[in-house]
Structure 1
Amino acid sequence: MDLSLSRAEILIVGAGIAGASLAAAIGNAARIILIEGEDQPGYHSTGRSAAFWSETYGGPAVQPLTSASLTPLQDGGFLKPRGCLHVAGTAEGRAALDRLAAEFAGTGVVLEPLDRAGIERWVPGVRAERDTGLYEPSCADIDVAALHADCLGKARRAGVEIVRSARLLGAAREGGGWVVETTAGRFAADILVNAAGAWADDVARLAGVAPIGIQPYRRTVIQLAVDPPAPADLPLVMDAEELFYFKPEAGKLWLSPHDETACDPCDAAPEELDVAIAIDRMEHAVDWRILKREHAWAGLRSFSPDRAPVYGFDAKAPGFFWCAGQGGFGIQTAPAAAALAAALLLGRAVPAGLDPERYVPGRFG
């Protein structure tokens, strides 16, 4: 096929979880081309995620999307029960737990208060000062690779054309649609969807659209061997002051300093200082001995100015649709977010329980 002549009703830029799940949700309802700048879809963020499904993660603005994604994630077999323990050992941490409980009161999200003894039952070896907790039993691990592959597979079976190594060079309105220039050739589409993650503002600029202010942040994860080994049923342990989180993974421990370091879109790599900070914070939380640091990596999380995702047509750029700003919550919200975005793109009824006004790009003026 001569890619320079490829035409579609909808062209999606970015084949990470946002673009892949959207393409799958639209399916054969429209002729779609999904372009990806890298050789491997999901290379930068989706493929580096230590993802979990947590209704509290991301706050009240994200929770409806997370909750609405539960059934499709369960039905697809992508979730494994984990539980999440939010812990505090300072006055500031206890105040943060109080705020968390208040934010989700009346939402149906279960948060069980725990005292020191309750925390010890879940986390053997926890330091004495960690005396207050909230347990979130619904939290689960997500099989990210399987979910992403499933979305890409559904898209392909629906006839979506997926083009890799197609880095965007420019896009312009022409004849009531878009003409898109990439390193893989030229494309034409009625609607241009910006699902480019950390590169979302760059894509907007290349299309002559005003950027929203999508800011990438680096997040670090370290794989450790510890003694005693992390219990297989250990919950995700999150510090109430967002100083760290850790969870077991295939007999090892995955640890993050919960860092958010603003950066340009890039192939993110861990900084030694962040690794050292993470290990120090963990050692102040539990008395486990670190046997070996086995691996460290970093990914990008991209937030809009108000830290809620952005779904909808740009009010000032005809045919330009935003599907961006998912932060660290894009995987746990993918099914519901894709259903919402697909409904907005196709002019269909919005899924029940979701308020599209909360996520419109026009809220930034």
Structure 2
Amino acid sequence: MMPSTALHAPPAAPEILDRCRQLVAPALAEAIGGLHPWVGEMAGYALGRCEVGGAPVAHRQGKGVRQALAVLGAEAVRGSAEEGVPGAVAVELVHTFSLLHDDIMDGDALRRGRPAVWKAYGTGPAVLAGDALFALAVDTLTAAPSTSRSGAAVRQLTTALRDLVRGQADDLLFARRPWTGPDAVGVREYEVMAEHKTGALLGCALAVGARLAGARGETAAALDRAGRHLGVAFQIADDLLGIWGDPVVTGKPVHGDLRQGKKTLPVLAALAAPGHRALAELLASPGVLDDTAVRRAAALVEQAGGRSAALREARRHLAAADTLLAGASLAPRPAGDLRTVLSSLAHRTI
């Protein structure tokens, strides 16, 4: 017979994500179903629900992290999971909208192993679909049952959207700036960008679910800040995977970020360390780095301490998120589920 503790083991992150995803799925499908059929098809394709032409598919959907955070945010402030569903739908729509536009801005032809929406349908249609998802997200929150709560939730979402655009703008501008010198991107500047670009929507997901469940302003603010710290840690983990990740796991080519000349935290930390001249000269080389050059660049980043510095920063942000959650007087079981999900997200490489 199994020990009794095994019968009551806390759920793992995939189980928590699956529970939230199944709860949100009908409302998300209903929201998408209200769009123009062609736009709805593009939205369904972006969400991994169908192929080009509308044929259904059930194996390419994302993990649903942000929608899970909204549901857990509602439960954590002692509300019901159902109260968090409109927020979950809204943040999932905004996340998808941001990916549609990001792929166009970055020129990324693939998303989750198949053509990005702009490659599958065209640039103009992809922009239109993104705009539709953005409008639908706001509309979803305004239709939430409690007018006072939905108003606070909409303000939470629009604040996150403002920061998301701010972060994306900074990220695009970073590409134009030199690797070294007075105009170079600093580590702190990068982390502010990451908080806006990645952390704002994660914080919003937690806070908007809490808002819809009637949380007080200070509790929602603490959840928002925790999500923002998580977002920075998540972005740093993504940076580490972009240089040293296993392509089989990440779906991206090894050293892809170095090859593209992206200003990621491990590289910026390495350039801020003494003795970085060889790395700076290599990165400033004209043209795209070949295989030999990117391997050397990765080695130089590690030798200069860029990898270890990035790990330290990620752990610092995770600790800050955990401290905020501990001080927010959350319901024990949902808080435990929340910590499980947050830990699984940011500990991919750290």
Whether TM exceeds 0.5 here: the answer is: no
Higher relative contact order (CA 8 A, sep 6+): 1
The structure with more strand, counted as a fraction of residues: 1
